[in-house]
Each structure stands twice: as structure tokens, then as C-alpha cells.
Structure 1
Amino acid sequence: MRIILIGPPGAGKGTQAARLQEALHIPAISTGDIFRANVKGETELGKLAKRYMDAGEYVPDEVTNKMVADRLGQDDAKNGFLLDGYPRTAAQVDELDKMLAAADVALDAVVELTADTDEVVGRLLARAQIQGRSDDTEDVIRHRLDVYAAETQPLTTIYADRGLLKQVDGLGEIDEVTDRLLKALQA
């Protein structure tokens, strides 16, 4: 299967991506992991990305797209993958479409983990406290959720229009959410 997992910060994407990877025997590919691997490996793209990351800026689409294309071309992703954190914008959707067309493959599903905003804010505040992340204040978290709503949420419309979108409630016990995800993917 070739799947995209999207949802607001704090909806549980990372946790569920790891569980789906195991259940479906496909790699969970996170742009954050790709960035870290390229930076650690000191690849040309990694050096370029590091300059932006060190400055606290978003890595430009051009660099992100190249890293994702490289990762999707690796052997373990040939028979399927789960993308977590990509695409984030309509321009990245277009780029992913080109990558998939060039490989003569298509997406099977786009799963949106939905979650109540106040619940997500509570989760992220608790996580920030546990991890000692003093920069994750309620204002910062709500701003990240606003950015998600403005930039990434519109992708759900694109994928719904293509008949690929499946929405799954991301709240509840971890096992319950995993079960809901697997049932939605089988439907």
C-alpha cells in the first residue's frame, strides 16, 4: 500500500505511523527522519537543509521534494510506503504526483487523523511538560494548529475530490485508533 497520513500536530501520527508500518510491512517515511538522516550523513541535500534548520526556517520545497524523491526510490519503498509529514502544501501534492507518475504507481489512500483542537492542545502541553519543552506554550501550539489549518488542511479537499481520503478519529486508546485505521484502510 501507498498511504499518506495527515492530521494536526498532536493527533498521534507518529505513534500510528509506527504501528501501521508494522501491521502493513511498509516503511513509515517521515520528512523529519529524512532531514535528520541526510544531515547526519552529511549529504549535499543534508548540508543544504541544515543551513535552513539552523536558522530556524522551513526547508524549502525544492530541497524537501528531492529528499522525498530519493527516499521513495530506495528498495524498501518500492512495494509501498506510508508518508508522514509530506505533502504539507498543494505544491508538494503536485510534486508527489509527478514522483508517483514517474514510478508508474499511485496512492491507495490518504488517511486524516482527526482530533478536537482543545484535546490536541492539552496533549501537546502535557508532552511539552514531560519533555521539558518550554517553547511549546499554549499560544505557540495554537499557532501551529492555525498554520496546519491554513496550509495542510486544504489537502484533504484535494484528496477527497480524488476519492482517496479516509477520516479516522485520532482520539482514544492507542490500540483503538490503530484498529480504526486498519479498518478504514481495508474498507
Structure 2
Amino acid sequence: MRLVLLGPPGSGKGTQAAILKNALGVPHISTGDMLRAAVAAGTPTGIKAKAVMDAGNLVSDDILLAMLEERLAQDDVKNGFILDGYPRNLAQASALDGLLAKIKQPLDAVVKLDVPNEDIIARCEIRFEKEHRKDDDPAVVRDRLRVYAEQTAPVADFFEKRGKLQVVNGVGELDEVTARIKQALKHESAAVSG
């Protein structure tokens, strides 16, 4: 299963991907985690990304695509992957399409978690208190939601036009949301095989 999880920051993509990776038997690839690891390691890419991330802005498309291409070349993704945090805009969606065509691993499904902004801000405030991640600061989150609405929300239309999009209600208990995603994936698998 090659899956992209879409949704606003704080919608639960990373949490759901961590659960789904075991159920689907494929790795969870988070561009945010990849970037944070590069920052922690002090790599040249990490140093460039740190200032951008600390300001709540998005890292450039070319850096992300290069990191992703390296990751998708690893052996553990041969049977699929769950991608979260990418693509964030139409240029990235198109670049991802091109990359996956090049490596002959087309997407099976795209699941968009639908969560109202008020719920997201509340979730991120809790995470900010616990983890102190600068990108979860409420002021930064509000700005990230604005950027999401302008740049990332149109990505859902991109995948919908390709017949890959499933929209799932991301509000509720963790296991309820997971069950909704699994149901959407069953629907998508039936559509692909049928």
C-alpha cells in the first residue's frame, strides 16, 4: 500500500500513520520527522531548514523532494509506504507524481483527515505544552493553518481528479478515526481491484 495522508497541521496525520504502519506493514515517512532529524544531526540541509522551520515556514520544495527521493530508494519501502507531511502544495504534488512514476510505485490512495481549525488549535496547544515544539506554538499554528488553506488544501483536488482521494472525519477518539481510515482504504482497495 502506497498511501499519502493529507490534512492540516495537528489533524492527526502522524499519529494515524504510526498506527497504520503496523496494520499495513509499511514504513511511515514523515517529511517533518526527516527534517527534524536533519536539524538535530546538524546536516547542511538541517541547518538551512532550522531557521525556516523555527519561523513556522515551509522548507523549499527542492530540498524536500531530494530528501524524499533518497528515502524512497531504501529497501524497506519496496512494499509501500505511508507519506505524511508531503505534498504540501500543487508543485510538490506534481513532483511526487513524477517521482513515483519514475520509480514505478504509483499511489494507491490519498486520505485527507478533515478536522476543524478550532480542534486543531486546541490539539496543538496541548502538544506544545508537552513537547515544546516551536511549530506547535498557537501563533505559529494559526499561521500554518492559513498557509495550509492557501497552498495545501488544493492538493486534495489534485488527487481527487486522479480518483485517489478519500476524505475521513478526523474528529473523535483515536481508534474511531483509525477505523474510519481503514474503512476508506478498504473502499479504495476494492475500487482499485474491481
TM-score, normalised with respect to structure 1:
0.89
Where do 5+ consecutive residues of structure 2 fail to align?
188-194
Q: Which residue of 1 aligns with 2:106?
A: 106
Distance (whole Å) between structure 2 residues aligned to residue 110 and residue 16 of structure 1? 13
Q: Which residue of 2 aligns with 1:21?
A: 21
Q: Give the deviation of 1:97 after TM superposition.
A: 1.2
Q: Deviations over 1:133-178 (max 9, x none)?
A: 6885544322211111111100001111111000111111101111
**Tell me, what secondary structure is at the counterpart of 2:26?**
coil
Q: Deviations over 1:108-130 (max 9, x none)?
A: 00000011121212222222233
**Tell me, what secondary structure is at the counterpart of 2:4?**
strand
Aligned length in residues: 184
Q: Which residue of 2 aligns with 1:77?
A: 77
User: Which amino acid counterpart does residue 90 of structure 2 have in structure 1?
Assistant: A
Are 1:52 and 2:57 an aligned pair? no
Alpha-carbon spacing, 1:37–1:133, altered in 2? closer, same or farther (3 Å): closer
Distance (whole Å) between structure 2 residues aligned to residue 121 and residue 79 of structure 1? 35
Q: Is the 8 A contact 2:39 2:49 kept in 1?
A: no
Q: Which residue of 2 aligns with 1:153?
A: 153
TM-score, normalised with respect to structure 2:
0.86
Q: Give the deviation of 1:92 after TM superposition.
A: 0.9
Distance (whole Å) between structure 1 residues aligned to residue 163 and residue 132 of structure 2? 41
- Give the percent of matched residue pairs that are identical in Structure 1 and Structure 2: 46
Q: Which residue of 2 aligns with 1:184?
A: 184
Alpha-carbon spacing, 1:119–1:59, altered in 2? closer, same or farther (3 Å): closer
The 10-residue stretch of structure 1 (15-24 or 112-121) with the greater mean CA deviation from structure 2: 112-121
The structure that is helix-richer by fraction is 2
**Tell me, what secondary structure is at the counterpart of 1:105?**
coil
Distance (whole Å) between structure 2 residues aligned to residue 103 and residue 25 of structure 1? 20
Q: Is the 8 A contact 1:49 1:63 kept in 2?
A: no
Q: Give the deviation of 1:40 after TM superposition.
A: 5.3
Q: Deviations over 1:62-106 (max 9, x none)?
A: 111110001011000111001000111111111111111111221
**Tell me, what secondary structure is at the counterpart of 1:168?**
strand
Q: Is the 8 A contact 1:49 1:59 kept in 2?
A: no
Alpha-carbon spacing, 1:48–1:17, altered in 2? closer, same or farther (3 Å): same
Are 1:86 and 2:86 an aligned pair? yes
Distance (whole Å) between structure 2 residues aligned to residue 72 and residue 85 of structure 1? 15
Distance (whole Å) between structure 2 residues aligned to residue 64 and residue 133 of structure 1? 20
Where do 5+ consecutive residues of structure 1 fail to align?
none
User: Which amino acid counterpart does residue 92 of structure 1 have in structure 2?
Assistant: Q
**Tell me, what secondary structure is at the counterpart of 2:5?**
strand
CA RMSD for the aligned pairs? Answer: 2.0
Q: Give the deviation of 1:48 after TM superposition.
A: 2.8
Q: Is the 8 A contact 1:11 1:120 kept in 2?
A: yes
